[in-house]
C-alpha cells in the first residue's frame, strides 16, 4: 500500500472554504474509488490555518487514478487558490489498524 501525508497551510480567512472543498473530495474519494482506502482530513491544533491529509491507496497507480477523477479535478481550482504552502510526505504502508 501507498500513503501520502499532505500538509496544507491555507491563507487566513479561507478555512471554511478549504474544508468544504476538501471534505467533499475526501468523501468522494473513499466512496467512489476502490483503490482509495483512507482519506482523512486533519486540522492542526497548534498551527493556525494548517491541515493535514492522510491518504492511503492500494498503490501508486490508485493515487494516479484519484488525480483523474471528476471530484479531484473539481476541487483543484478551489484548493489551489486557497493554499499558501504545501508539502508532501510519501510512504509505504507497513501496517494498518485492522479495526478500521
Domain ranges of the chain: 2-92
Q: Is the pLDDT of residue 82 over 80?
A: yes
Res. 99 pLDDT band, cuts 50 70 90: confident
**How much is the average pLDDT of 22-41?**
96
| pLDDT for position 88 | 97
What's the whole-number average pLDDT of the chain? 95
| pLDDT for position 2 | 97
Rg of the chain in Å (alpha carbons)? 13
**How much is the average pLDDT of 69-79?**
94
CA distances from 80 to 8, 41, 50, 57, 83 (A): 10, 16, 15, 22, 6
**How much is the average pLDDT of 29-57?**
97
Q: Which residue(s) pair with 7 in the sheet?
A: 52, 87
Class of domain 2-92: alpha beta
| pLDDT for position 75 | 93
Res. 97 pLDDT band, cuts 50 70 90: confident
Nearest to 29 by CA among 81, 89, 71: 71
Amino acid at each position: 500500500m501507498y500513503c501520502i501525508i499532505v500538509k496544507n497551510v491555507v491563507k487566513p480567512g479561507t478555512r471554511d472554504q478549504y474544508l468544504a472543498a476538501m471534505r467533499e473530495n475526501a468523501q468522494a474519494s473513499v466512496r467512489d474509488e476502490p483503490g482509495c482506502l483512507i482519506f482523512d482530513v486533519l486540522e492542526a491544533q497548534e498551527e493556525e490555518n494548517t491541515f493535514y491529509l492522510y491518504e492511503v491507496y492500494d498503490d501508486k497507480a490508485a493515487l494516479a487514478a484519484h488525480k483523474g477523477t471528476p471530484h479531484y479535478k473539481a476541487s483543484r481550482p478551489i484548493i489551489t487558490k486557497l493554499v499558501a504552502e504545501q508539502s508532501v510526505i510519501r510512504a509505504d504502508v507497513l501496517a494498518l489498524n485492522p479495526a478500521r
